[in-house]
Amino acid sequence: MIVGFLSYAFFRYQPKVPERPVPSVEECKMGWDALLGIITTMIPILDAKRAREQEHVERVLNALGTAYFATETYFANLESGSPSSRADQLALAEKWDHVANVIRRYDQNLASRFSIKSRFWSEGGTWDRRQIQQANIGLEKIRMDARSMLLLKQYAKPARP
């Protein structure tokens, strides 16, 4: 009985809400003018942020392309009979490390994979296919994973003309 009364009293109690005066037409107009001013101020800021983001995506894509094509060149030279070069391997390690650093802001997992790829080259590129596959750093695979993610970022938010 007491429980029923308490639940009834609890749900029936409605605290008084202080009444707010209805704003005048002039007050509303000033509010809309202020809001419009804020919006028109924010548009250039947001456009500049979007442009910086697009520039960074382009830098990552360029770094990825540079590392990829340098690696392709290295393998082509090996296939044509040139001896492996420790200096070239270290240069590749540096290029892949750069990719890891610039892509980190978008994807920690990919950045880690590129760091491992850099380590692969800094250690002389002597891993076997099984180790490369386990580390998920195959040249085509890692490039396609990164490009797919970056191209989605690039086209997800088109820049304004």
**Which pLDDT tens digit goes with each residue over 40-87?**
777 777 777 787 888 989 999 999 999 999 999 999 999 999 999 999
How far is C-alpha 31 from the geometric centre of its chain's CA atoms?
37
Residue 143: inside a domain, yes or no? yes
The per-residue pLDDT for 25 is 63
Residue 149: pLDDT over 70? yes
Please tell me which of 13-17, 95-99, 129-133 the model is most confident about, judged by mean pLDDT: 95-99
Across the range 144-151, mean pLDDT stands at 92
Q: Percent helix, strand, coil in the chain (nearest 5)?
A: 75, 0, 25
Residue 71: inside a domain, yes or no? yes
Residue 117: pLDDT over 90? yes
Q: Which helix (H) or strand (E) holds 21?
A: none
The per-residue pLDDT for 63 is 97
Residue 42: inside a domain, yes or no? no
Three state DSSP letters for 100-139: HHHHCCCCHHHHHHHHHHHHHHHCCCCCCHHHHHHHCCCH
Considering its fold, how many domains does the chain have in total?
A: 1
Residue 23, classified by CB atoms within 10 Å of its CB into exposed (0-12), middle (13-18) or buried (19+), is: exposed
Residue 30, SS3?
Answer: helix
Residue 161: pLDDT over 50? no
Residue 139: inside a domain, yes or no? yes
In the structure encoding, which two tokens stand for residue 12, read together?
């029936």
Residue 111: inside a domain, yes or no? yes
Q: Which domain holds residue 121?
A: 56-161
Cα gap 126→142, rounded to integer Å: 18
Residue 95: inside a domain, yes or no? yes
Residue 47: inside a domain, yes or no? no
In the structure encoding, which two tokens stand for residue 103, read together?
């892509």
Residue 140: inside a domain, yes or no? yes
| Residue 27 confidence class, pLDDT cut points 50, 70, 90 | low
